[in-house]
Amino acid sequence: MKLAEMRESLKDFWGEFKKEKTGVFGLILFAIFMFIVIFEPFLLPFEDANTRWRDISYWQDWPKSSPPAWTNWFTSDKKAVTEQLTEFKENSQDLGAMVMKEFTFDYDYQFDDAPNDIIIHGNASGQPIVVVNIIRPDGTDLEVYQSTYNAGERPKDIRISVDNSSRDIIYNFAKKFETPEDLSKVKPGLIKTTNGIFAKAESGILRNPVALKGDYQIKITAILRSKADNMETPYIVLPGKVSGVLGTDSQKRDIWTGVLAGVKWALLIGILTAIVSVAIGVIYGVISAYLGGWKDALMQRVFEIFVSVPLLPVLIVLSAVFEPSIWTMVLMMALFFWTGSVKTVRSMAMQIKEETFIEASKALGASNFRIIFKHMVPILIPYSFSSIALFIPGAVVYEATISLLGLGDSQIVTWGQILSDALHSGAVLNGLWWWVVPPGLAIAFMGMAFAFIGFSMDKILHPKLRTR
């Protein structure tokens, strides 16, 4: 086929395709997925998620199994949303013998249910004394933390969890407001620190705290006694009761990040597997049909053997035994997927073989190779595209299934692995729907996108199935 001819037929095809509403919808979905892949660095809330997905320390500040932030819209009792405070006012005071560095953070608290903790981070070196004060909207100044750090010469990340370190301080602050009778019912070691910090200073602060809304100031003071002491780049994490677009899992990971990071792998696995297997299948089918005779018979026997393999069990055993990377997994799937298109291709090639132009090129002395790849395979290209589209969902689902069994590539984040973690951590049992639904929905949407595209192409290519 000439290039101009090809462009013309492509134009015709697009004209037809445009009329298929579902096909266009599939293309839009595909475009969205591509958009996510291309702009992933800007979309990911956690930049290092791709490399540190399984690193517990990377996620340690986030809340465990918290629902998505938007669940607040449907409840009257607003739960604190996980927040990271990075903006602060810095104030340095030189007192001669020592330097006092003050970092003041503003936190606008407008929820009914307090965050789980206040976690303070900063880079410290030497032996700074770190003091944390919380100034409440009612003017109370709570000194919740004071300690000397021994950080060493190199700047080191320090982490202060207010929830753990200031339980006694909050208890002592709050007990003034409770009657002795109520106080006797409270165990000092079991109170929730943040509940006290974010509650109105009145009777019931320990037992039924009422949120005190307004502007809180969190002041971090670093007292530096020598030149070697320093503290800089502080930030505060307030792990809430709800967080992010899709909440967090039981290992404190942000699920939205995982779902976004999984898009590229699903696309890669799906498209690569589909292209490789359809290419093999088409070439195999054409060669088989063209050669004919005993060669065809032999090739059909080999094909039959591959068809008789129960795909998933074999893939599972192969993965269990060989522990594949993503690339070997694609190869393994392509090894069995190619059979899907052989039968149709062979019957189509049988017809093409009898066409006069094949006879003509044979008479002109064209080689078999030339006839197969120059004359026969190109005719099957439109068919190949529709089967590529229809193969993709299968490949994505198979990868997810193998990952579900815990046999996937552990270097990457795929939807199947997120679901596997969910299943093994009892997300189904505990009703953590925000962990189970999104990754599966993503798989279903990807399947849908290519099913829509593929079926629409099929419809155009097989006019017989068209509605009357």
Partner 1 sequence: MYWKFALKRVINAVIIYIILIFIFSALFNVQMEQTVYAQIDENIKMETMQLTDMKPDEIKQWAEQRKEFYYKRYNLDKSVFERVVIRATDALIFNYGNSSIIRSSGGSRDVRTIVLETIPRTLLLFMTAMVIDVLLGFWLGIKKAQKPGKGLDKTTSVATMVVYGMPSWWLGMLMIMAFAYMFKIFPSGGFVSTPPPPHGTWAYFVDVLYHLILPVLTLVIIGFWGRAFLTRNIVLSTLQEDYIMSARARGIPERKVLYGHALRSAAPPIVTMGLLALIVSFGGNIIYEGIFSWPGMGNLYWISVQQNDIPVLMGNLSLTTGLYITGLAVLDLIYGFLDPRIKVGGKA
Q: Can you give the binding site for partner 1, defined by CB under 8 A?
A: 22, 300, 304-305, 307-314, 316-318, 320-321, 392-394, 396-398, 400-401, 404-407, 419, 422-423, 428-429, 431, 433, 436-437, 440, 443-444, 446-448, 450-452, 455, 464-465, 467-468
Q: Assess contact for 75 and 112: CB atoms under 8 A.
A: no
Beta carbon nearer to partner 1, 41 or 463: 463
| C-alpha distances in Å from residue 109, one per residue of 80, 115, 144 | 8, 10, 18
| Between 292 and 378, CB nearer to partner 1 | 292
Give CA–CA dist 344/458, Å, rounded.
Answer: 13
Instruction: Tell me whether residue 149 or residue 391 sits nearer to partner 1 (CB atom).
Output: 391
Task: Return the residue matching tokens 């696309």.
Answer: 267
Q: Please report, for residues 68, 414, 417, 428, the alpha-carbon distance to residue 434 in angstroms, rounded to integers and kept in the order given.
A: 7, 16, 15, 10
Q: How many other CB atoms are found less than 10 A from the CB of residue 105?
A: 21
Residue 214's φ and ψ, nearest 5 degrees, are 140, -165
Yes or no: say if 394 and 337 are a contact pair by the CB < 8 Å rule: yes
For partner 1, the closer of residues 245 and 405 by Cβ is 405
Q: In angstroms, what is the minimal distance from the CB of 106 to partner 1?
A: 40
- Distance, in Å, from the CA atom of 183 to the CA atom of 211, rounded to the nearest integer, reads 19
* DSSP-based three-state secondary structure for 229: coil
Tell me how far, at minimum, the Cβ of 78 lies from partner 1, in Å: 24
What angle, rounded to 10 degrees, do the helices at 326-337 and 311-322 form? 150
Bridge partner residues of 148 (DSSP): 129
Please identify, using beta-carbon distances, which residue of 244 and 394 lies nearer to partner 1.
Answer: 394
Least distance to partner 1, CB of residue 258, Å: 15
Pick the closer one to partner 1 by CB: 100 or 461.
461
- Considering the complex, state which of residue 84 and residue 401 has its C-beta at the smaller distance from partner 1: 401
User: Buried b / exposed e across 146-169, counting CB within 10 Å, b at 16+?
Assistant: eeebebeeebeebebbbbebbbeb
Judged by CB, which is closer to partner 1: 366, or 444?
444
* Angstrom distance (rounded) from CA 181 to CA 186: 10
